[in-house]
Amino acid sequence: MAHLKEVDMKLYFDLPEKEQDLVAGRLADEKILYCTPYDIDSDGKYTDGWMIITKSRVILIEDCEIKEEFVIKNGEDYNALSFVGSGLLEVVVNGEVRPLVNYSMSHVPRYVYMARILNDLRKNTIPKVKSTDTETKCPKCGRAYLRGTKVCTKCTNNVQVMKRLLQVAKPHWPLYATVILIFWIITAIQMIPPILNEHLVDDYLMPGVKNMKAILLLVVGLALCALMNTLLTIIRGIVTTKLGGLLSLDLKSMVFAKIQSLSLSYLDQWKPGDLMNRINADTNRIQSFIQDNGAKGVNQIIILVAVGIYLFFENWKLALFVFIPVPFVIFFVTKMRKMIGMRFRSQWKASDKVNSFLQDILSGIRVVKAFGQEKRGVENFRKLNREFADITIRNEKYWNTLFPIMNFILASGNFLVLYFGGKFILGNEMTIGELVKFTMYADYVYAPLSWLGFMPRWFNDAMIGAERIFQIIDEEPEIRDADRPVKHKIDGAIQFKNVSFGYKSYEPVLKNISIDVKKGEMIGLVGHSGAGKSTIINLLMRLYDVDEGEILIDGIDIRNISQADLRAQMGVVLQETFLFSGSIYENIIYAKPDATYEEVIRAAKIANAHDFIMKFPDGYDTKVGEKGVKLSGGERQRIAIARAIINDPKILILDEATASVDTETEQQIQEALGRLIKNRTTFAIAHRLSTLKNADRLMVIDDGRLAELGTHEELFRKKGIYHNLVMAQRKMSRMQGPVT
């Protein structure tokens, strides 16, 4: 049953009308099998090109003209090459190579398939490729999809981000509601003093009316209001802080969890400094938005509307003066929004640069010192910080000029109110008390209004922070568990069936690898650097998924086994031993947190590590890793072996360290490895002759293909690639002489 491989790429485009007409005549009764666009002409200029493939011909159209028609069988071979920034589909005719189609990176993956298809058609085989309609761009508006999603940010509601932010706040709804309630109560209480004042001024603060009792009552009333205000503000502060803390916890956990779950291919593209910024700085921004400005915002808007209505009710003429400056400010602010966003972005970019630089230098401080480049590091840091400082200062100057001016404009309504209010009073249209009340209420409005002015900055802050975080949260891990992943107790038989893979799908690193490994067998992987050995291991660990073919463990496709389950049953010893900050004990039990002390010691003994560990004053509690004791390469290797062995894995993955250690340590490591490998199916990238000789079979990988397969003796006799590799290795060891 031939499975048509569905590729995540469009290979059949609908020709636009003009081109359709152009081609109609030429086609006769042949159907268009594939149709792809291309965008560079033979002069290196952008063009509007189409490549049409029928069963027997290739038709090229450029700028609405037929550029070339080509009979597929005339070509002896078709090849798609990728260069820097572009690609080329070339054809061999009569032994001569010539270019056929040029295209930008946007089409490179497509044409790799095109070349394959053409080669299939040339040989009269039916191409095994079917196109889908998925693309990385929104078909409606051409905007790029949010990475890893099929979400077009323009074609979906922009309110989405706000909605998502609210989702984050949702679980803490009760606390949130409490905060808002308190705001309301405070507001309500604040509405009272102006009325009291009105009475005070109009009815009692006049020579002649000697009612001290009333005055006292009113003053007490005012005092009580102020007191209540203070108390409630304290309570509000406490509740808000609690809310903030919980929000922060949620957001950060969410982002961190997502980062942990994402595939290596995505994470490889980020610098650790950037990721840290996302988790800390950006979540802080969102948190403060929801916590402070979010709650406050709701309130301010309510005050604004309520008081506004009241003011207009009382005296619409004066109210008008209060609100006149508003449209100006709004206009001003909307114009500034884009500028504000840009400024923030550049500030953050600069901040990211500083952090990443720090991260880089501090991780590599050893190299810095070894080459004596400390001074340069200091200078660079200074320079980056300077840039960051400059941008920040510029921005702050901007805010500090813009907002006071805006506030002044807003408040300028006040003067008009006083002037005309005075006129009304003199004309007996209004009492002094009423004016006092009015201006007090009007004051309440300025705070929200100017807050609305500041809003763009905070809003942008949060939105940009949200953007950056959702970028991560939206990312779907490439390696996903199947819909119903199986938990499988591994026995140890492994099969590679026609496996092909490339980190970039159009540049295959492994080509059609097949092998049947029995349980308990040890397979040595040999080949030149970059031949594909580490890739085989990465695929077995399912850090990446195969492009073609399948990998089976005990007959089950590894894609159907739950990742957690799979990796928990594999032991891994890599070249670079990374030890976490913690004790040796914590590092050994990393994959098996519930290991007993006896298991730990046993594992360490098998790894020949127990003795040197016991020599440390703190034994297994010795702190290692970034902040701890510096271990030698051999010691780290052996701890890694202990770590791998403690789980009793059925499958072992070994990437032999090439670094040489002293003979004694070498022996210890070899011995430990020997014990480790016993009765476990092992894939080992081997460098040492001794390891190779011990392997049950060897896979010789050359340029991505399985070139030779067999035992050491069989392959050596063949006098092929393996033989040469071994001879070169022997020569090397002889040259190096005995290692002290």
Partner 1 sequence: MNNTALKINDEKVNNLPPVDDIRYITPDTAKFEKTAGGFVSLSIKPDEYYKRVNLYRSFPHRETRKYISVRNSEGKEIGIIKCIDDFSKEEVAIIEEELNRRYFMPIITKINSIKTEFGFFYWDVETDAGPKMFTINGGHSSVISITETRLLIIDTDGNRYEIENYQKLDTKSLKLVEPLI
Contacts to partner 1 by CB under 8 A: 40, 44-47, 83-86, 88, 96-99, 102, 104-106, 108, 136-137, 143-144, 146-147, 153-154, 161, 269-270, 274, 341-343, 345-346, 467-468, 471
With b for 16 or more beta-carbon neighbours within 10 A and e for fewer, the 455-480 pattern comes to bbbbbbbbbbbbebbbebbebebebe
For partner 1, give the closer residue by CB, 42 or 241: 42
For partner 1, give the closer residue by CB, 84 or 159: 84
Shortest distance, position 280 Cβ to partner 1, whole Å: 16
Shortest distance, position 36 Cβ to partner 1, whole Å: 14
For partner 1, give the closer residue by CB, 250 or 274: 274
What end-to-end distance do the CA atoms of the chain give, in Å?
Answer: 60
For partner 1, give the closer residue by CB, 140 or 627: 140
Residue 170 exposed, middle or buried by CB count within 10 Å (0-12, 13-18, 19+): exposed
For partner 1, give the closer residue by CB, 343 or 638: 343
Shortest distance, position 136 Cβ to partner 1, whole Å: 7
What sign does the CA torsion over 719, 721, 722, 728 have?
positive
For partner 1, give the closer residue by CB, 65 or 483: 65
For partner 1, give the closer residue by CB, 384 or 561: 384
How many angstroms separate the Cα of 377 from the Cα of each of 369, 371, 501?
A: 10, 11, 40
For partner 1, give the closer residue by CB, 379 or 626: 379
For partner 1, give the closer residue by CB, 296 or 468: 468
Give the C-alpha separation, 328 to 317, whole Å: 19
Structure tokens at 390: 């400059």
Contact 699, 667 (CB under 8 A): no
Shortest distance, position 535 Cβ to partner 1, whole Å: 19
Shortest distance, position 170 Cβ to partner 1, whole Å: 22
Contact 611, 689 (CB under 8 A): no
Pairing assessment for the beta strands 681-685 and 651-655 based on DSSP bridges: parallel
Radius of gyration of the chain (CA): 36
Identify which of 476, 464, 524, 555 has the alpha carbon closest to the alpha carbon of residue 699: 524
H helical segments located in 541-590: 563-568, 584-588
Shortest distance, position 225 Cβ to partner 1, whole Å: 46
How many angstroms separate the Cα of 390 from the Cα of each of 336, 357, 383?
A: 20, 17, 10
Shortest distance, position 349 Cβ to partner 1, whole Å: 8
Quickly tell me which residue has 């003009």 as its tokens: 18
Residue 65 exposed, middle or buried by CB count within 10 Å (0-12, 13-18, 19+): exposed
For partner 1, give the closer residue by CB, 154 or 718: 154
Specify the DSSP class assigned to residue 699: E
HSE of 108, CA atoms in CB hemisphere, 13 A: 14
For partner 1, give the closer residue by CB, 20 or 134: 134
Angle at 705 between CA 702 and CA 708, to 5 degrees: 70
Strand partners, 513: 499
How many angstroms separate the Cα of 412 from the Cα of each of 273, 303, 332, 634?
A: 46, 20, 16, 76
Identify which of 440, 212, 320 has the alpha carbon closest to the alpha carbon of residue 432: 440
For partner 1, give the closer residue by CB, 45 or 375: 45
For partner 1, give the closer residue by CB, 263 or 587: 263
Quickly tell me which residue has 């509000």 as its tokens: 236
Identify which of 672, 664, 670 has the alpha carbon closest to the alpha carbon of residue 689: 670
Give the C-alpha separation, 40 to 45, whole Å: 6
Give the C-alpha separation, 720 to 526, whole Å: 13
Residue 124 exposed, middle or buried by CB count within 10 Å (0-12, 13-18, 19+): exposed
CA 38, 42, 45, 49: dihedral to nearest 10 degrees?
-30
Give the C-alpha separation, 383 to 375, whole Å: 12
Shortest distance, position 466 Cβ to partner 1, whole Å: 9
Give the C-alpha separation, 633 to 612, whole Å: 13
What is residue 150's three-state secondary structure? coil
For partner 1, give the closer residue by CB, 352 or 708: 352
For partner 1, give the closer residue by CB, 99 or 404: 99
For partner 1, give the closer residue by CB, 152 or 425: 152
Contact 189, 232 (CB under 8 A): yes
Shortest distance, position 623 Cβ to partner 1, whole Å: 35
Shortest distance, position 393 Cβ to partner 1, whole Å: 16
Give the C-alpha separation, 482 to 552, whole Å: 15
DSSP E strand boundaries for 518-631: 522-527, 548-553, 556-557, 570-573, 582-583, 623-624
